[in-house]
Amino acid sequence: MKILTLEFLKLRRKKILLMITLFMGVEILWALLAVSISLSRNPSDNGWMATIVTLATMNALFLPIISSVVMSRICDMEYKGNTWKLLRSVNVKPSNVYAAKYICGNILLLYAIVLQAIAIAIFSNVNGFAEPLPLSILLKYIGGTMLITMTILALQQWISLLFKNQTFALCLGMVGGFLGMTGDFFPSFLRRIIIWSYYTGLSPVACRFTDNSTHFILRNQNIGIFAVVILITIVFYIAGNSHVSRQEL
């Protein structure tokens, strides 16, 4: 707990929370504007379903980039301050520092996802949609979005600590955002290996196009996909943790 507290203290002047809030503000406003325009043209559509699908799609662009920036700022401090040797000299295990950084990143991104959930709830209540937004769907949205974000954070942390130059990690985030946005256009066998595209796949609401019209449906969650994502997360985390524990200081 002390190491985790120190990670947040080291971030206090980096204004990461402000950056996340601004990024989320742009994404949320963009999504709600798009949904409002869509509903004005198709008033029969389910409003909160359209909002969830739109945000899930935009998350594939925004969250990989935000994750790369957050993890880069969290990990870059150790290289700029050359603190790895110092930490080992006071008997702090690198694996504990690695875990603290990962938890710190997840808490910051959970804040971003909760902001989205609050925006969805407020938007639904203000517009008075015919079908009320079920709390269970909102919780599934938070859970699915957070799960794939944990995977991306594990990958970004590994890359951020693998290369001292954070350009590699930031480029990975931008490439991931591009692949996430375009992932649904790839064949299914390719889409399965593009982890950034899982934001739509793990969303509780899906969008279907039939007869030149759009339909929103509740998706039956596939436990197998969740299991695969969790396994990938564990692999990324162990790989990064092992690298930090073995690296020459």
What number is the average pLDDT over the span 1-22?
Answer: 84
- DSSP structural state of residue 92: -
Q: How many domains does the structure of the chain reveal?
A: 1
* Residue 183 and residue 199 in contact, taking contact as beta carbons nearer than 8 Å: no
Long-range CB contacts for residues 73-81, cutoff 8 Å, separation at least 24: 73/11, 73/14, 73/16, 74/7, 74/11, 74/101, 74/104, 74/105, 74/157, 74/160, 75/101, 75/157, 75/160, 75/161, 75/166, 75/169, 76/160, 76/166, 77/10, 78/161, 79/164
Q: Which of 173, 166, 177, 174 is nearest to 74 (CA)?
A: 166
Between 212 and 76, residue with greater pLDDT: 76
Q: Cα–Cα distance between 202 and 221 in angstroms, integer?
A: 7
Q: Cα–Cα distance between 52 and 204 in angstroms, integer?
A: 8
Domain that holds residue 195: 2-246
What pTM did the predictor assign?
A: 0.90
What number is the average pLDDT over the span 41-64?
Answer: 86
What number is the average pLDDT over the span 35-45?
Answer: 78
Report the share of the chain in percent with pLDDT over 70.
Answer: 91
Q: Give tens-digit pLDDT for 111-157.
A: 999 999 999 999 988 887 767 888 999 999 999 999 999 999 999 99
CB atoms within 10 A of CB 3: 17
- For 143, the token pair is 């859970």
What pLDDT, on the 0 to 100 scale, is given for residue 109? Answer: 96
pLDDT at 94 over 90: no
Q: 136: part of which helix (H) or strand (E)?
A: helix 135-162
